[in-house]
Structure 1
Amino acid sequence: MGRRVFQQKVVVITGGCAGIGRALALRFAQAGAHIAILDIHDESLVAFRQQLQDKLNADVMALHCDVSDDQQCAEAISQIVERFGGIDLLINNAGITHRSTFAETDAAVFQRIMAVNYFGALNCTRHALPSLLARGGQVIVLSSLSGFAPLLYRSAYNASKHALHGLFETLRMEVREQGVNVMLVTPGFTATDIRKNALVGDGSVNQGTVNLAFKVSAPADVADAIYQGACKRKRLLVLSNVDWQARLVARLFPRLFERWMVPRLSGVKPARANE
């Protein structure tokens, strides 16, 4: 049954050329969906569209769209609706992060993180919502394990993910009687380039690596779990590498969690936890 749920359905994926977004495009194309990929990397858009068409015979649109630009989102959604007749599933996947202390982070970095992670999802959802309402569709939002375990040196990123929960949990209540589902997804550590391309305090890109003390998931595995969750129209999908004991400690013993677990989650030595 799961293989038929999205056959001939229209699926829009932001940040769809790399990482989890790319894996999602492949997964839903395999399920027979019409795919619309939004991304800012033009060469990758062209190459990935061709790959989906050649290998999976998929019906694909690939559109340049900076999700932080509301006008670009409006134009992209309009083109998708015109081409496919509507939208059945919007996956707000596009996101960026940073690695810098609050005190050393320029205001422009906070604004950029919120513009992509929060307003990008808001922009696309706002323009797609009329079609989603008309078709009883679904919105999926990629959040983070930082929704329950804030990461050191990611104050802007953590804030953007908390804002997503506030927005989309409210939207879920407002549209559920009209047949639209909203699913928040909190992946754990996944093998993508988001940490490799993290901003630093002055807004430049940090090409350094972060050593993680946890198993890193493959994007394809995360995409398949999201696909299965979408088929069941779940409200929340927790895909965290941090086991249930750690989440229990975070809730019952927050100080212990902050001293012992947060530094490891953040990819820093525990000795730096009190700095």
Structure 2
Amino acid sequence: MPGREVSLRRDFQQRAVVITGGAGSIGQALARRFGGAGAQIALLDLPSSPLQEASASLREAGIDAIAHPCDITDVQQVHEAMAKVRETFGRIDVLINNAGIVHRSAFAETRPEVFRRVMEVNLFGALYCTQACLPDLVATRGLIIAISSIAGLAPLYGRSGYAASKHAMHGLFESLGAELAEHGVGVLMVCPSFVESGLEASTLGGDGQRIARPRSKIGRLGDPNDLAAEVLKAARTGKRRIVLTPVGKTSALLSRLAPGLYERLMIRSLRSELEERR
């Protein structure tokens, strides 16, 4: 069952950990936590991101870190980046699929190419990275960590494409976890609610343009450092799914036990985001 611990307890000392979206605040927090546990860190992110600065900051903190620019929606770039990680560290033990984008727009006002772009990054980018290093993970009896969202467990107003991509991630990685169990490869799904991160800065509107207007704040935003600490703890103990942040835990519970109430509260909290853009 999701969330159940398995008997394996993982040690990340001298283990090679690949983190996509590595230049963002969540990627950096994860890198510092796993690096602090002795892991070797490989950051992947877009060439336009502050990737080299992020890697240098980790090395200044005493963490063995490298960085490779990579658009994870490009299969060739993904394979080239993974080859460079192998060349440097000799192995890949953990893949953290953290890169992602979000849109904020009504379904009827969202262009098909926006849905496609969200799926390309959130689902297919993670799929490409996983396929590229799967032989390594099988050889090392490694671990795949997928940074999903509460949107992968419950509806989210004004983000139908994003929710679809996160639901698809759950279908993909939880099914893959069943296939890989006999090989000793673990899969951990991480489901936070809103976290203080750079994701909102790259939010797409229905026309594909970035949105400058801030989103509604529902409760206290999660802290990336708290998220990273919980992910490391869950990875060590072999959990399969964790739901994080107070809002995330409440939303997951309400959506399952009282879906009508959850929907009413969600609409009341988030509808204004779209009305302000009209």
Fold similarity call, TM over 0.5: yes
SS state of the match for residue 32, structure 2? helix
Aligned partners of 1:189 and 1:241 also within 8 Å? no
Distance 1:194 1:243 in 2: 17
Matched, 1:91 2:96: yes
Show the counterpart of 2:141: 136
Distance 1:241 1:206 in 2: 26
* Number of residue equivalences: 267
Equivalent of residue 173 in structure 2, options 164, 168, 173: 168
Matched, 1:9 2:15: yes
Structure possessing the higher relative contact order (Cα contacts under 8 Å, 6 or more residues apart): 2
Equivalent of residue 27 in structure 2, options 21, 27, 40: 21
Mapping of residues 55-204 of structure 1, within 5 Å? 55-56=61-62, 58-204=63-209
SS state of the match for residue 153, structure 1? coil
Aligned partners of 2:157 and 2:266 also within 8 Å? no
TM-score (norm 1): 0.91
Q: Structure 2 unaligned segments of length 5 or more: list them.
A: 1-9
Aligned partners of 2:243 and 2:249 also within 8 Å? no
Aligned partners of 2:70 and 2:78 also within 8 Å? yes
Q: Structure 1 unaligned segments of length 5 or more: list them.
A: none
Q: Which moved more, 1:171-180 or 1:247-256?
A: 247-256
How far the C-alpha of 1:263 sits from its partner, in A, is 3.6
TM-score (norm 2): 0.90
Distance 2:190 2:142 in 1: 17
How far the C-alpha of 1:33 sits from its partner, in A, is 0.9
Aligned partners of 1:39 and 1:63 also within 8 Å? yes
Aligned partners of 1:149 and 1:262 also within 8 Å? no
SS state of the match for residue 132, structure 1? helix
Distance 2:13 2:174 in 1: 27
Q: Percent sequence identity over matched residues?
A: 46
Distance 1:148 1:188 in 2: 10
Matched, 1:236 2:241: yes
Equivalent of residue 37 in structure 1, options 26, 38, 43: 43
Q: 1:31 to 1:115 in 2, by over 3 A?
A: same
Show the counterpart of 2:271: 268
Distance 1:244 1:183 in 2: 17
Q: Which moved more, 1:37-46 or 1:236-245?
A: 236-245
Distance 2:188 2:20 in 1: 15
